[in-house]
Amino acid sequence: MPSLREFLLSKKYCRSRLFPTVTNHLEMKARINGVEGSFILDTGASSSCIDFEFAELFGLLSEDSEVLAAGAGATDMITKLSRKNTITIQKWEYKKLDIVLFDMSHVNTALKNHDAAPVHGILGADVLNAGKGIIDYQYNCLYLK
């Protein structure tokens, strides 16, 4: 019987490493519009997000949004929306990613308080859905198709 890895690779999934942090989050590398960044993979986040501070770094063109973000202990945060961005994770690529921009300083402050490295953003369920994502928690890997 093939391993999960062998089976998913035979089905043309791409494999990417996940790195557990001291806060028990899963961190990973991804490229947004060709620029590499560090992201927390968050299955509970409906949308992928990047801190306002890094909008220019990733070449994000944004528009005002009436949606107020909530999460990680903060509510009613002002957001902007950047449409049709490209995300690349290893060999997997998706060219229609909408990204929510908001102030993630509370997230990075919490990470720093636990001696964890800050991140550029969060990859959410939108990425997992687009790539038919499968997380292998035993081996800390994400598979996307």
Cα 131 versus chain centre, distance: 12
Q: What confidence score (pLDDT) does residue 106 get? A: 85
Nearest-10 Cα torsion for 85, 86, 89, 94? 100
Q: What confidence score (pLDDT) does residue 45 get? A: 93
Fold of 4-144: Cathepsin D, subunit A; domain 1 (2.40.70)
The pTM score is 0.89
Confidence of residue 1 (pLDDT cuts 50, 70, 90): confident
Domain boundary assignment for the chain: 4-144
**Contact in structure between 87 and 28 (CB atoms under 8 Å):** no
Dump pLDDT digits (tens) for 97-136: 999 999 998 889 989 999 989 999 999 999 999 999 999 9
Dump pLDDT digits (tens) for 13-71: 999 999 999 989 999 999 999 999 999 999 999 999 999 999 999 999 988 766 555 45
**Contact in structure between 63 and 112 (CB atoms under 8 Å):** no
Q: What confidence score (pLDDT) does residue 78 get? A: 83
